Amino acid sequence: MSENQAYLYLEDGTVIEGAGFGARTHRYGELVFSTSMNGYPESMTDPSYKGQVLIFTHPLIGNYGIPEMISENGILENFESEGIKTEGIVVSEATSGRRWNGKLTLDEWLRNEGIPGISGIDTRELTKRIREGGVLSCVISNAGKMDDPFTDLSRKYDTNTGLIGSVSIEKAIVYRGRSNKTIALVDLGVKHGILRNLLKSGYTLARLPHDCTADEIMSYDPVGVVYSNGPGNPNTMKVESDSLAAVLEYKLPVLGICLGHQLSIAALGGRITKMKYGHRAVNKAVVDMKTGRGYITTHNHGYACYTQDMPAGIEPWLVSPDDRVVEGIRQEKLLSVQFHPESRPGTNDTHFIFSEFEKMVRNGT
């Protein structure tokens, strides 16, 4: 592993030095942390991390290397998208593990993908700083000291524009199922885990670009519509919210996941706000406050709807017992969840969300 000096510049003027690995380049992003202890290949290819530099709080990352990509009909089995989506990663130690199902080390993979990494960082201290001061813009560089890293740091990295476009698709892709009946999925940066789970139902899946209109969606004559996860601020996504509001008018079964959940709540009149430092973890409970039943789930979001900001007349279904984030709503035609039922990385405890949606689709047709 190359041991070159690397730098992490934060918008408040802090410079943190470490050892560089991966590609020798620099990248701008929002500095966030994840407390997931493994599943780094899945996390790093999650398109919701677009525009973000990711700190792993677990100190050793890379222990089992990077597996060979397995793809079936264009859908990936062991990655969440075709390439690394994080702008960079920050770790305490980047290890050079390798094992039976892969050839690449973490370092080699980052190099191939042109993504910088920095190690030797007190990631706990950095995480505490974010916890206390909120997320920060940053630039990670392992191509030497930057002359003027702080100027325009936050302009160069802007959460409000352009992120979904860069991780969505240009043209619709149709995955044929056993049935000709079609579920339409609006790809805001969809994880392949979601595609896989939806296809299990046997329906045909039409994966559509993020900026498609309701008419375009309806042209597939869908039996249900899914709004996927994705990066960025939902309050700035005019096209997507409009299409979602229009789709809801058709009284079709709709499933919202993560960003899709936020757009759904916004469409119904709820308020979505930026969180201080978000939820990025695989260890969080969501609880049905009426029955007391709960599940451990995967989270990756920086925006949220808190219980007091719910649309009038709608009760949350699932809530985070720790901070009252609305984690799920269930209406006759709308099922939406803030967490990732497809997990990856994370627990398999909430795959049933897909079956619930399938039931809604079946009942609705």
Q: Residues in the site for another protein, rule: CB under 8 A?
A: 33, 35-39, 41-42, 57-60, 63-64, 67, 78, 92-93, 95, 97, 99-100, 122-125, 127-128, 131, 281-285, 287, 291-296, 321-322, 343-349
User: Please, are residues 107 and 73 in contact by the beta-carbon 8 Å criterion?
Assistant: no
* Closest CB 275 distance from another protein, rounded Å: 12
* Closest CB 295 distance from another protein, rounded Å: 8
DSSP secondary structure code for residue 144 in this structure: S
Tell me whether residue 179 or residue 348 sits nearer to another protein (CB atom).
348
Tell me whether residue 64 or residue 150 sits nearer to another protein (CB atom).
64
* Closest CB 167 distance from another protein, rounded Å: 21
Q: Annotated catalytic, 26?
A: no
Taking phi first (over 0 means left), then psi (-120 to 50 degrees means alpha), and beta for anything else, what does residue 62 get?
Answer: left
Q: Annotated catalytic, 356?
A: no
- Give the angle 28-140-25 at the CA atoms, nearest 5°: 90
Q: H-helix or E-strand containing 182? A: strand 182-186
Label residue 119 exposed, middle or buried (CB < 10 Å: 0-12, 13-18, 19+): buried
CA dihedral (205, 208, 213, 215) in degrees, to 10, reads -30
Tell me whether residue 25 or residue 35 sits nearer to another protein (CB atom).
35
Given 42, 87, 240, 342, which residue is catalytic? Answer: 342
Given 138, 258, 305, 327, which residue is catalytic? Answer: 258
Given 192, 210, 299, 340, which residue is catalytic? Answer: 340
- Give the integer Cα–Cα distance in Å for 45 and 323: 28
* Closest CB 105 distance from another protein, rounded Å: 11
Q: Annotated catalytic, 340?
A: yes
CA dihedral (160, 161, 165, 168) in degrees, to 10, reads 0
- For residue 202, the one-letter residue type is G
Tell me whether residue 94 or residue 254 sits nearer to another protein (CB atom).
94
Task: Give the residue from 309, 355, 321 showing the smallest Cα distance to 335.
Answer: 355
Tell me whether residue 264 or residue 298 sits nearer to another protein (CB atom).
298
Helix axes 238-249, 259-267, angle to 10 degrees: 70
Tell me whether residue 66 or residue 184 sits nearer to another protein (CB atom).
66
* Closest CB 205 distance from another protein, rounded Å: 23
Tell me whether residue 251 or residue 293 sits nearer to another protein (CB atom).
293
User: Please, are residues 289 and 329 in contact by the beta-carbon 8 Å criterion?
Assistant: no
Q: Under DSSP, is residue 163 helix (H, G, I), strand (E, B) or coil?
A: helix
- Give the integer Cα–Cα distance in Å for 196 and 71: 11
* Closest CB 311 distance from another protein, rounded Å: 25
Tokens 């936050």 -> residue: 154
User: Please, are residues 192 and 81 in contact by the beta-carbon 8 Å criterion?
Assistant: yes
User: Please, are residues 167 and 85 in contact by the beta-carbon 8 Å criterion?
Assistant: yes
* Closest CB 345 distance from another protein, rounded Å: 4
Q: Per the structure block, which two tokens stand in for 63? A: 């222990």
Catalytic residue numbers? 258, 340, 342
